[in-house]
Chains A and B, each alone.
Chain A
């Protein structure tokens, strides 16, 4: 079934088209939810709520841009809304002292490639990983993130900086990336005038 057919069917509230659309996009969207969620079950709850919004608001889709991008934004916003309901989340994004946070080695799984990167992101503290997900992966600006999470823009920036540093450390430790080599500056000989 083509995307257009699925879309038209969904606009008519056709269950077959809805299922086709869901089957097509749900694996990727669940991957997104999983990055935000505490565990798989929470991720599935986020996915469920996200797709209900997708189907109930699909008439608002204006064919401007890819359908996947539109669905993705709804799913991300749903994840954020669900996270914001959790009190722990509001505590997490206000953390100012990053030095007090330590990642335990056993928290970092070593399943390879994409999943490994995702799991490393998930091992970050809640506030960090949320900002990192939104900024680095979903492409939201710090201003947008600040609005979404009800925090200051500067907080979003500092959270991201710390999250990035922490994630880099984890990825290096897991040998997924290597430490960047310091650039060697070459100084030319000064010719006598």
Chain B
């Protein structure tokens, strides 16, 4: 850039220069716009949801278990398609490397020094990763060669390998081409330092067989200089430092050809860790829903003329809605601008109250069952200690609790209807396969005069559907959700052989707290 163009027209200068600036957005942006503009073409079907669920689970597994998503170490050591070419080029020109010991010894030294460096020097790690993944044309830039020449000429006696690493580090810092990339990788490195140290300390690193052909040229410089222990940062004379500065300036002018610019810009975006990309779409939610439980009773009998079969069952029972609660944790995945997929684990407590009188002694009574073979109903003998004659005065009034304890796996979809300032409005539906692991059931007798307690009549598996709408309040690092929720049980609480069918539903107010990863 011409240094003499200062004209006093500051705004004009800024406008001219900034108008020339272009950046190419990633495909994600267009996909998001497209999905937003044409939701009908991408409206998720059940199959799509299941596919997403499977993918999410798979990626979750990959990110937590044995894979090395933070694996700069592995990447730096093994993923190096350009390294062989780079090495061949460098060796042919005899610029960089002059090993004094055997190749085997070099590899051992390299391994040791490399492990030390990636433990302590984040910039060097970044540099290594960048270098190992960049194309040949960048690798072969003048600056790198000249710097390498300069370094290889500094064969003084004293000083440690650490100084050489510092020199490399200094060069990385002076080479601003890596600035954006370095920031990304450095932050990520800081987060995962502990994990990386574990990898290094484990056999994982030590068992990696580093082939000599995979050691890139500059890495060899490191190993050679570490091996020789003969390089010091202070040994770079003022003149040489000026040379580096000049090289940088020349490089700045010549470096940014189009393909390089595109590569540099895209590198930082494309080489962000996969986990980080996913993390932007994932959030963890905990929630609790105090609810009022209602129920609807019906009967299903065949060939029975009992009072149970003929009366309106809801009117002969003195029943009151009970207080229930749902609480759980879920992972939310925002797979589109307005759509979220949620799944997690939820604990439910449902409760429904019946007014009855406690009898003085057990009474023999019957309940109506259906024969699965014939389909006809029949009365089965049971004992009862509670009477349906509520508040008679002669007996002790008592409240019976029909309770269940459930664990469910909700799979939910939420759609953002609107967004204003820091408040979003969502609607959502969920399907909740449910396992009932406890509870109690008080069943009305065939003559409608008694209640029979029979926990074994509760069906173990069930299915619930939920509908909710809520406001999402964006806070500093958390999101708070508040809104009404309705939960409806699809199948009867009781097993199929019972003639009594109970379909409970709960109306509650959900409070949720969400935090991104």
Contacts and interface: CB of A to CB of B under 8 A. Distances in A.
Interface of A: 13, 15, 18-19, 22, 26-28, 30-31, 34-35, 40-41, 43-44, 47-48, 51-52, 55-56, 85, 109-118, 121, 132, 135-137, 139, 164, 167-168, 175-180
Classify the secondary structure of B's interface with A: helix
A136 B15 contact: yes
Contact of B30 (A19, A34, A132): A19
Contact of B34 (A15, A34, A116): A15
Contacts of B33: 18, 22, 48, 51-52, 55
B26 interface: yes
Nearest to B38: A15
A52 B256 contact: no
The 5 A-B pairs of least Cβ separation, nearest first, read: A27-B22, A114-B20, A117-B17, A31-B21, A114-B21
A135 to B, nearest CB: 8
B11 interface: yes
Contacts of A85: 421-422
Given A22-B30, A30-B23, 6 more contacts: A48-B29, A56-B37, A109-B176, A112-B1, A121-B14, A177-B5
B21 to A, nearest CB: 4
Contact of A121 (B18, B20, B269): B18
B252 interface: yes
Contact of B23 (A31, A167, A179): A31
11 contacts: A18-B33, A27-B22, A28-B19, A40-B269, A110-B252, A114-B21, A117-B13, A137-B14, A176-B1, A178-B6, A180-B6
Contacts of B13: 117, 177
Contacts of B10: 136, 164, 168
Nearest to B277: A41
Contacts of A31: 18, 21-23
Nearest to A33: B23
B3 interface: yes
Interface residues of B, number: 44
B1 A178 contact: no
A60 to B, nearest CB: 16
A56 B20 CA distance: 28
B54 interface: no
B40 to A, nearest CB: 11
A28 B253 CA distance: 23
A44 B25 contact: yes
Nearest to A22: B30
Contact of A34 (B1, B4, B23, B28): B23
Contact of A113 (B17, B23, B38): B17
A30 B23 CA distance: 6
B460 interface: no
B3 to A, nearest CB: 6
A53 B15 CA distance: 25
Contacts of B29: 26, 44, 47-48, 51
Given A15-B38, A40-B269, A52-B37, A178 B24 contact: no
B170 interface: no
B24 A18 contact: no
B125 to A, nearest CB: 18
A112 B256 contact: yes
Interface in B244-285: 252-253, 256, 261, 268-269, 280
Nearest to A55: B37
A177 B3 contact: yes
